[in-house]
A and B are shown apart, each in its own frame.
Chain A
């Protein structure tokens, strides 16, 4: 008998006392918790997102489509970035005014090469207001998971209000589990030393979020 059969057999014997639950799963678990916490207008939801992002030490900017290239240029310049990493499907206009050298993410780029890049600009799939969370799903404007991980400075552009949801349940509804997903709430952080919070351990030390709307 192989271990698969052994383990499944043990599970079945262990559950010999349990009467099988014939109900479909949807009925077996009550879902009487809230789909979202509190009543808010769309504008208030966006405002809550901005507040919660800032509360977790992300730097939040707001702009419109016309001003976006200037804002991106300014943020990169303020950091003194010489190289900016570009996911394959990033709208070209976003970086139209940026000075740094574009490094286009390709499979051939090694992690060590990405480590020398100063900044990265990505879009996002969904942003969650109640928790201040950005979700990236690997779409062409977000790129592979590593691009938002290795550079020390991440600029993420969120289209408001289209990409903003209130809550975790609403976010999961919009996401495709077949894609690799990265949920980001504030910059990388640790509290492992005497519970003092330190930003930036392995992921980006600085997370800037541009609310575009």
Chain B
């Protein structure tokens, strides 16, 4: 799977392709089940997990409800510590700011630590168009970049690739980008990691500009936090002369103390470790230690529109741990690419249609990419009620209604292709309001059950194309109840 997200088919089509790929399903099943079991153990070590989760939820909610104040405070703290703050309303503006900052250094290449925000705005493509080469330095991101591919998981972006595929990508592509892979490269993970180390080290040691995202920004102190494992983050954050961090405005937390909650919940929820190998925290610039210039680009790009939605705004609490991906039965089978967004899985299904709007076919289909089983809500360390937002967005897609796009109030029209669903819902409303008709209909359905087709005809075809039609029971529940319990109690 490669190519861009633009013009992606809707989720059901993309998922249908993905579930037919046995390698992908095998890789995903192994990976999600392994992380899932480890995470449960790591979380089980903390007796106060419920309290930490609730505190995390409250901290994020409080920040969001006073976000204007905390953003101003953050700007002030970062500036006082020697950094420069820029504001970007959308992807184009953020890309323009970063491109100009890189140009001002006179450099034509940058090293990057994995960042969802810069993927979201497609910064690498924008830099390439300006003649600047961006090197991804996270091992999985390197695999994705060299493979001309797209990430498929928040935390393990190359989760869909097995070691043999990775070996081939390294052997064929590394030479194009710098130091080639060794001649005798095997497919053992240790060998592959060593090849990545040698390939990237020459880039780290000469890099003058680093680009990062951040996991947290502390308004009170102006501190930015990056959580990682390999040390590529530390390389990008400390060796270059100029550091540019592109961060979504929702990554703000009010105080230094708030980190005590998230530094306990994030590693255990994401990599299922007590603590990830490296966490870097920096406040502006420090003389003779790390970059001399620090630029923070605060990114909106649909976040304030999401904030305007009273049900959907809770998605902004997300700390990108990816626990919801690993428990999702739909993600486990369809994989990350089917979501057509840098944010796959359950959180992607609610975040992407809010950040981008539900105008495109893929975004309108994402709220349906779920069985609503609720496992994602159970594991979420900031208690985002993903099923609630999914249902809310489904209603938005089907019924239309008021929303905010680019800061303006708009009235969304119902999405195309949901006419049958609206008709069915209206019919259901009528039937439930007329019990006699409902009962007669149910009995008729039971008696004719052997004649029912396996798929629906006409406008219902789309619905049954992605689902098995439920079998009608031989007897309606209400009749069964009356025949068994009802007769015994004798009250009906």
Contacts and interface: CB of A to CB of B under 8 A. Distances in A.
Interface of A: 2-4, 6-15, 17-18, 20-21, 25, 28-34, 37, 52, 56, 107, 110-112, 115, 128, 130-133, 138, 144-146, 149, 168-169, 172, 177-196, 198, 200-204
A201 B192 contact: no
B289 to A, nearest CB: 4
Interface residues of B, number: 99
Interface stretch (B229-237, B341-349, B379-387, B442-450): B229-237
Contacts of B192: 193
Contact of B308 (A13, A128, A145, A183): A13
B274 A185 contact: yes
Contact of A107 (B68, B255, B275, B288): B288
Given A13-B308, A202-B234, A183 B279 contact: yes
Q: Interface on chain A toward B: helix, strand, loop, or mixed SS?
A: loop
Contacts of B58: 28-30
B279 A131 contact: no
B229 A191 contact: yes
Given A111-B205, A181-B280, A182-B279, A201 B230 contact: yes
Interface in B263-320: 263-264, 271, 273-283, 286, 288-290, 298, 300, 304-305, 307-308, 310, 313
Contact of B283 (A25, A172, A178): A178
B126 interface: no
Contacts of B279: 181-183
A130 B239 contact: no
B197 A200 contact: yes
A37 B48 contact: yes
A34 to B, nearest CB: 4
B468 interface: no
A25 B52 contact: no
A196 B229 CA distance: 13
Contacts of A204: 231
B84 interface: no
B229 A8 contact: no
A195 B34 contact: yes
A107 B241 CA distance: 13
B485 interface: no
B258 to A, nearest CB: 8
Contacts of A14: 304-305, 307-308, 313, 404
